[in-house]
Amino acid sequence: MNVIVIGSGAREHALCRLIEKSYLCENLYCFPGNFGISQIAECKNINTTNEIIEECQKIKPDLIIIGPENYLSENLAGKLRELNFHVFGPDSHGAKLESSKEFMKEFCQSHGIPTARSRTFITLESAITYLESVSGPIVVKYDGLAAGKGVFVCSNRQEAIDACYKIFEEKIFNQENNKIIIEDFLEGKELSFFTITDGKNYLNFGSAQDYKRIGDNDTGPNTGGMGTISPAPILNDELMKKIQSEIIEKTISGLNKDKIDFQGVLFFGIMVDKENNPYLLEYNTRFGDPEIQSISMRMNSDFLSLAHAVATKNLEYANIEFFSDKKSICLILATSGYPDSYPKDTLIKNLHEFPNDDQFYIFHAATKKIGQNILTNGGRVLSLVVMSNTYEECRNKVYQIAEEIDWDYKYYRKDIGSNF
């Protein structure tokens, strides 16, 4: 098969690695890609929807896999399907489960999916008036896409009001949409769960635990993710049955009832309370970054075959396997200063000293090569992923390599995978 992957981050690098390993893969392209991806796929500096469609018409791929959420919300998948391409990823209607928190809440209410109680506000004044009637922790969410940074978990009323000011007045997301969701704070433990579906059939794709905040012990602002472990340690058989019946099956049924034709992956952000009951925090309609980096290392199936089955609505005949006895940890190396201001074009000196294999891989998120130098090109730069028999073994190796990478501006959390 000729395959095109859309995107430029570590998520797309992880997907390209899985595809490149498949015996079905003949030619692999990534638009726009990055330096790391260019080692296993042909990258082209193509970014806009129109450019991507034009290049797809030239290459005529057998499968197109869309990584980032912005392309999905812009209906790239729908436009490509109109041209008779097989696409892994939902059209803009399905992607609205992620791109609109209000739509997600309405979907959950309509189909009996457990989630936090919430209210929607379109003005700062109405939001503040409501907040004056509540106390204790509260959650404020920007309604649209925000690269994983649109959720404010506020410990008190003033923090919630400050979050509202940032969204409505400072317009920190450069948004046209001035809509927020204020919802009840749910206490418990979070996990990420993934399911691939062709619209009717589905296969569970695995779990991970994400570390969202910038600082150790979950301190500081939210980020796009500073690390993951897979599988999620809290996911036992009893909890899996509840997630299956209360969230996954109701979601697939709801998509069909609402005539949302969905081919791709559903990423369930889930909170588990003290009674071991799951509540849906959010949907994402693409693979999580950095979750897919850790999950993909444990995969023992042909991903390309699975993705093609999703895109062609033949998932009924597919199956998926993981190394059930293996654990994996993904550690993000970010540029010092992230998620606020940080320098670019900083030099990483010795990546060649750490060759990739089946137990260890460096996925690139924001790198470029100028001459013989590998330079940074963003905030979250590298994903170091180790697979081993225990989380402790994974931690020991991944932190040893992180320490040995020669990069003056590197920053990483020190507690990924601890206490397990």
Q: Which pLDDT value is given to residue 36? A: 97
Q: Which pLDDT value is given to residue 144? A: 81
Q: Where are the beta strands (DSSP E) in 296-350?
A: 327-335, 347-348
Q: Which pLDDT value is given to residue 317? A: 86
What residues contact 250, with CB distance under 8 A and at least 6 apart? 111, 112, 113
> If pLDDT is split at 50, 70 and 90, which confidence band does 195 have?
very high
d(CA 25, CA 22): 6
d(CA 263, CA 61): 17
Average the pLDDT over 249-260 and give the result. Answer: 98
Residue 213's identity, in one-letter code, is R
| Residues 351/372, Cβ–Cβ less than 8 Å | no
Taking the mean position of all CA atoms in its chain, how far away is CA 388? 23
d(CA 283, CA 345): 34
Q: Which pLDDT value is given to residue 238? A: 97
The number of beta carbons lying within 10 Å of the beta carbon of residue 272 is: 20
Q: Which pLDDT value is given to residue 228? A: 98
82: its two tokens: 């109109």
Q: Which pLDDT value is given to residue 419? A: 78
- Whether 178 has a pLDDT exceeding 90, the answer reads no
| Residues 97/106, Cβ–Cβ less than 8 Å | no
The verdict on whether omega for the bond into residue 343 sits within 30 degrees of 0, i.e. cis, is no
d(CA 208, CA 189): 12
Average the pLDDT over 169-187 and give the result. Answer: 85
> If pLDDT is split at 50, 70 and 90, which confidence band does 135 have?
confident
Domains of the chain: 2-91 (3.40.50.20), 117-184 (3.30.1490.20), 189-317 (3.30.470.20), 327-411 (3.90.600.10)
- Whether 149 has a pLDDT exceeding 80, the answer reads no
**What confidence tens digit (pLDDT) does each residue in 374-411 have?**
999 999 999 999 999 999 999 999 999 999 999 999 99
Mean of the per-residue pLDDT values of the chain = 95
Closest by Cα among 65, 54, 57 to 29: 65
pTM score, whole prediction: 0.94
- Kind and range of the H or E element at 111? helix 101-111
Q: Which pLDDT value is given to residue 171? A: 86
Q: Which of 95-99, 317-321, 360-364, 389-393 is least confident?
A: 317-321
Q: Which pLDDT value is given to residue 37? A: 98
**What confidence tens digit (pLDDT) does each residue in 296-347 have?**
999 999 999 999 999 999 999 898 999 888 999 999 999 999 999 999 999 9
> If pLDDT is split at 50, 70 and 90, which confidence band does 64 have?
very high
- Whether 47 has a pLDDT exceeding 90, the answer reads yes
Q: What φ, ψ does residue 60 adopt, rounded to 5°?
A: 55, 60
d(CA 109, CA 11): 31
Q: Which pLDDT value is given to residue 172? A: 81
- Whether 145 has a pLDDT exceeding 90, the answer reads no
48: its two tokens: 């806009």
d(CA 54, CA 68): 19
Report which of residues 403 and 166 the model is more confident about: 403
Q: What percent of the chain lies above the pLDDT cut of 90?
A: 89
d(CA 316, CA 202): 8
399 DSSP β-pair partners: none
Report which of residues 75 and 151 the model is more confident about: 75
Q: Which pLDDT value is given to residue 169? A: 85
What residues contact 106, with CB distance under 8 A and at least 6 apart? none
Residue 262's identity, in one-letter code, is F
| Residues 114/247, Cβ–Cβ less than 8 Å | yes
The number of beta carbons lying within 10 Å of the beta carbon of residue 99 is: 22
